[in-house]
Amino acid sequence: MPPVPSYESTRTIANTYNRLGSLWDEMAHTSPFLINSYRLLDRCLSELVKTASPTRVLDMGCGSGAHSFYLGHHAKEVIGVDLSETQIGIAANRSAALDHVRFQVGNACRLPYRDESFDCVISYGDVISHIIDRYEEAIAEMARVARPNAIVTFEADTKWNLGLLYHPLELLDALRAKGVGHTTREWEGMRFKTFTYKELKAILAKHHLDILSCKGHNIFASLIPDRFLLEKGSRSLLGRLALGLGRLDLRLSNVYPFNRFGFNFVITARKRGHP
Ligand SMILES: C[S@@+](CC[C@H](N)C(=O)[O-])C[C@H]1O[C@@H](n2cnc3c(N)ncnc32)[C@H](O)[C@@H]1O
């Protein structure tokens, strides 16, 4: 496996999201990649509230709190935690009218919550992949704070996706990292840890989490080069094509093997009950 760069400190990540501020929310409405991913995440959240009816939810790496806000209309209590003070401020403003939705600055690798205190933990927006050297600690923390039979659902970067074709050096890194994910190219000065499905399954099993579903997004949309998929916004021709492909991807999101080859996985798991 290639050496993991050491500059990816929690401070770097917090500074990046502090600097992005409300731009992060704007990007969620203009970047075809994020529009496609939120279509799937919104669908996952709506299924979650219908099938699991969670009561006490943790939103780990909540960012600007869009998911916490949605869940606040369905659960008795929602807590959002994030490294970025600025994002936590935006999240708190968004949910100001909801007393049972609260936010706190904190680190996913050392969650300030009691064991088995949530019946649902979500972590969307690639939080686990941001933690390129300590991702297993964050997974262990999600499992620790989850009650037996709780749902733990999170998003992470997929090792193999069509976008790699535009990044030969990264493709080489991926090929060298046999059986496990690699560290990606930079985005906003940060790099990300990718995973294979098997790798994630094994890590989750170690922490008593059994996978219920695996969904993918930006599967064929990742054929659109980054500068149109991520940066240029939905108004360019290629940006619009990325959105069209994103609709096809949504149909394929749950279909094997397509679900393993999107830009990201959305994994939903259940914590094993006490024997
Ligand atoms: C791409 S944003 C996603 C925000 C939100 N979950 C969403 O889907 O809109 C990733 C968030 O993860 C947070 N994050 C990254 N590493 C973290 C860590 N170790 N502990 C807590 N938050 C972290 C970042 O600060 C950022 O707000």
pLDDT band per the 50, 70, 90 thresholds, residue 3: very low
Q: Phi and psi of 56, rounded to 5°?
A: -120, 110
Ligand 1 touching residue 109 (CB < 6 A):
yes
CA distance 271 to 95: 28
Beta bridge partners of 154: 123, 267
Average pLDDT over residues 58-79: 98
- Ligand 1 centre distance from Cα of residue 128 (Å): 8
The rounded Å distance from CA 61 to ligand 1 centre is 4
Per-residue confidence (pLDDT) for residue 155, from 0 to 100: 98
Q: Where are the domains of the chain?
A: 7-271
Confidence at residue 232, expressed as pLDDT on a 0 to 100 scale: 64
CATH class of 7-271: alpha beta
| pLDDT at 234 exceeding the cut of 80 | no
| pLDDT tens for each residue of 130-170 | 999 899 999 999 999 999 999 999 999 999 999 999 999 99
Does the CB atom of residue 17 touch ligand 1 within 6 A? yes
Q: What is the pLDDT of residue 171?
A: 96
Six token digits for residue 64? 């600007």
Report the candidate in 138, 173, 165 with the shortest Cα–Cα distance to residue 152.
138
What is the reported pTM?
A: 0.95
pLDDT class of 1 with cuts at 50, 70, 90: very low
What end-to-end distance do the CA atoms of the chain give, in Å? 37
Question: What whole-number distance in Å separates Cα of residue 243 and Cα of residue 246?
Answer: 5
pLDDT at 8: 57
Helix (H, G, I), strand (E, B) or coil at 22: coil
Cβ atoms of 75 and 120 within 8 Å: the answer is: yes
Any ligand 1 atom below 6 A from CB of 131: yes
Give the rounded percent of residues in the chain with a pLDDT score beyond 90. Answer: 87
Q: What pLDDT does residue 243 have? A: 95
Average pLDDT estimate for 102-125: 97
Q: What is the C-alpha to C-alpha distance for residues 167 and 162, in angstroms, rounded to an integer?
A: 10
pLDDT tens digit string along 83-108?
999 999 999 999 999 999 999 999 99
DSSP result, 134-186? THHHHHHHHHHHEEEEEEEEEEEEES--GGGGG-HHHHHHHHHSTTS--B---
pLDDT at position 185: 87
Q: Which one of 9, 130, 193 would you pick to mutate in the ligand 1 pocket, going by the greatest count of ligand atoms within 8 A of its CB? A: 130
Instruction: Indicate whether 4 pLDDT > 50.
Output: no
Whether the CB-CB separation of 104 and 40 falls below 8 Å is answered with no
Average pLDDT over residues 5-14: 73
Indicate if ligand 1 lies below 6 Å from the C-beta of 87: yes
Mean pLDDT of the chain: 94
Both tokens assigned to 36:
């496609």
| Nearest-5° Cα angle at 7, 128 to 158 | 30
